[in-house]
Each structure stands twice: as structure tokens, then as C-alpha cells.
Amino acid sequence: MTVTTTAPSRPRWNAERAFYGGMALAILATVCLGFARSFFLRPWFPEVHVPPERYFLLHGTVFFAWFVLLVVQALLVSARRVDLHRTLGVLGGVLAALMVVVGVTGAIIAARRPGGFVDSPMPPLQFLAVPLFDMALFGTLVGLALAWRRDRQAHKRLMLVGSIALLVAAIARWPFAVIEAGGPPVVMGLNDLYLVPLVIWDLATCRRVHPATLWGGLALVASQPLRFMLSGTEAWLVFARWLTGLPG
């Protein structure tokens, strides 16, 4: 990717910071809505099924910290505190690596649980493909965003797409009948809609879809059917049994 060196004009700058700040807030709101009953307001919704292990309190806290940091970083850029944004970027890199470890560990714990993943009708070893793909995609996109942090336009887009890749779990917990009735196709379709504003922004400002949006978005969309296709294969089940230590 080519590093962009030309500074945007003031109107373009104002629109850009409003767009990315708005996207970060929308992503955070999606997470809060999805996990309100099972995490943030858990005592008030005892009828909602939640993981029994206390580990998932840590899991939820670490992941929520990422989405809060995403908003904070966007606000710092808006306030022209790029120096503090870069300092917190180091924390973001550490937090992203921790999320991958915590996310993969949580997925293995859930797959080993006698009842499998909460409210998932899929066999646990098959459903394990869903969170593991999420973590692989998130880690890859955020890792590339950090590697290309000097390319401001690529960096912003990859951070957004990487964060959008984690929204499936939140959307699946939205308290709407259409979510339960539609299942994974509806959940993942709604997840993909978060890419649309980014594509529109690219077309409006660059007159083309930025490579980070294009390839990151394609990776996200393509991974969704791929994980379900792979999860039923014998090769995946052998790998899943090895990863979880469960007998065949």
C-alpha cells in the first residue's frame, strides 16, 4: 500500500474525523446492546443464559476495553492529540494480542463444556470454528493496521474492519425476534452491513474502494461461509479434538 503524505483540507479533515468517530461509537453501541442483558445488566436479566465460568467476566472486560479504546482513539484524533493517540496505540497492540489469547482460550473452554456453546444448536466442536475464525481475522487485520500505522488511511480502515469482525457475537445477542428466527445468515448479514458506510465513504472521498477496505472486507465476508463449510469436515473435527483435548 502507498503511504499517503498529502494532508487533507480542513472540511475534509472535519468530515473524516466525524465519520471515523461515528463508526467507532456505532460499533461500541452495537456491543453494549448485544451484551446488555448477559453482561452489563446481568443481575436484572436472570432468565438470559450466560456462560457459567467466571473466566468470561474477564473475557468480556478485556473485549469491552478494546471497543472503548477504539472510541477514545478516534476522539483523540478528532482533538488533534495524535501524540497521545500514538502512545495509547502501544497499549492497543498489547490489548489486541491479549484479546486473541483470551478469545481462543474462552472458545476452547466453551467447546469443552458438556452443553457446548451457550444457546448454540451446533455441536461444540463444529461451532468452535466460528470464534476461532473471528480471532484469526481480528488478529490479522489489527496486526496489519499496526504494521502500516504510518499509512494513516490504511491504518484507520483496517482497525475498523478488524473491530467489525468481532461484532457477530454481539449482534447474535440482540433482543430482537428476527435475530433468533433468522439464525447465522441474518446475524452475519447484519454484521456485513457495517462495511457499507466504509465503502460509501471510500467512494465519496477516494472515488474508489480503498485497498484496505476491499481486501479486509472481502476477507471478512468470505470467512463467514468458509468457517461453516470447514467446520463439518473430518479434518476440522480432528483439529478441534486435538485443540480441546476431547476424545474422538
Within-domain flag for 1: no
Within-domain flag for 77: yes
The total domain count for the chain is: 1
Within-domain flag for 5: no
| Per-residue confidence (pLDDT) for residue 1, from 0 to 100 | 45
Within-domain flag for 37: yes
Residue 211: in which H helix or E strand, if any?
helix 211-231
Within-domain flag for 54: yes
Q: Which has the closest alpha carbon to 136: 172, 110, 92, 101?
A: 101
| Per-residue confidence (pLDDT) for residue 199, from 0 to 100 | 98
Contact 128, 243 (CB under 8 A): yes
| Domain carrying residue 123 | 10-244
| Per-residue confidence (pLDDT) for residue 211, from 0 to 100 | 97
| Per-residue confidence (pLDDT) for residue 246, from 0 to 100 | 79
- Cα separation, 245 vs 248, in Å, equals 9
Within-domain flag for 3: no
- Cα separation, 198 vs 217, in Å, equals 10
Within-domain flag for 203: yes
Within-domain flag for 123: yes
| Per-residue confidence (pLDDT) for residue 6, from 0 to 100 | 47
| Per-residue confidence (pLDDT) for residue 9, from 0 to 100 | 56
| Per-residue confidence (pLDDT) for residue 10, from 0 to 100 | 60
**Going residue by residue through the chain (248 aa), what tens digit of pLDDT does each one get?**
444 444 455 666 688 999 999 999 999 999 999 999 999 999 999 999 999 999 999 999 999 999 999 999 999 988 889 899 999 999 999 999 999 999 999 999 999 999 899 999 899 999 999 999 999 999 999 999 999 999 999 999 999 999 999 999 999 999 999 998 898 999 999 999 999 999 999 999 999 999 999 999 999 999 999 999 999 999 999 999 999 997 76
Contact 54, 192 (CB under 8 A): no
| Per-residue confidence (pLDDT) for residue 12, from 0 to 100 | 63
- Cα separation, 48 vs 43, in Å, equals 10
Residue 87, number of CB atoms within 10 A of its CB: 12
